[in-house]
Amino acid sequence: MWQYMSFILCLALVSCADSSTQRGGGDAGEVQSAVRHDQTPGNYQYCFVTADDTAILTLRITEGGVSGSLLLQYFGKERNDGKLENAYFRNDTLIADFRYWSDTGQGLREVLFLVNDGVAREAFGTTTMAGDKEVFTSHKSVAFNSPQMSVDGCGRKVPTFRKE
């Protein structure tokens, strides 16, 4: 009987330890560095930074939903900086309204990000205007072919090669 209870106790301890490791186990204000978060509550930051380009997606996932911000500054393009509204996950895909500010003023557009394995990729595709918001004509026809933003890309720059 004692061996059986010891086995159950060990199994329970291993289960609890595994659960805290998967959730990041840190302070809610601390940026998580988990490879895959599966929408686990916490703060996450995905980055792509080069000498010419910067893309930073910051997410806060809580029991009540998803919020965050996005900064896009690509060489030769306007800087877009703003917040995510009405954000939610459908499987690995983050869907949100991006209210941003740029040199030409305020804008609103739908954004999709494929988020998995410590990487976030923005979707590109055909869009149309729905009221004052730019939206994708079909979520099924988008391509997630943007530069790869990663959780470990926030503290270092990726080398770029300039054409002269």
How does DSSP classify residue 153?
Answer: S
Cα distance between residue 2 and residue 33, in whole Å: 40
- Mark the ranges of the chain whose per-residue pLDDT is less than 50: 1-37, 161-164
For residue 19, the model assigns a pLDDT of 35
Q: What is the pTM of this model?
A: 0.72
Question: What is the helix (H) or strand (E) element at residue 108, kind and residue range?
Answer: strand 105-116
Sequence-distant (6+) residues with CB within 8 A of 3 are none
First and final C-alpha spacing in the chain: 77
Predicted local confidence at residue 140, as pLDDT: 95
Q: Name every residue whose Cβ is closer than 8 Å to that of residue 135 and which is 6 or more positions away in sequence.
A: 109, 110, 127, 128, 129
Ordered by start, the domain boundaries in the chain are: 42-150
pLDDT of residue 51: 87
Q: What is the pLDDT of residue 70?
A: 97
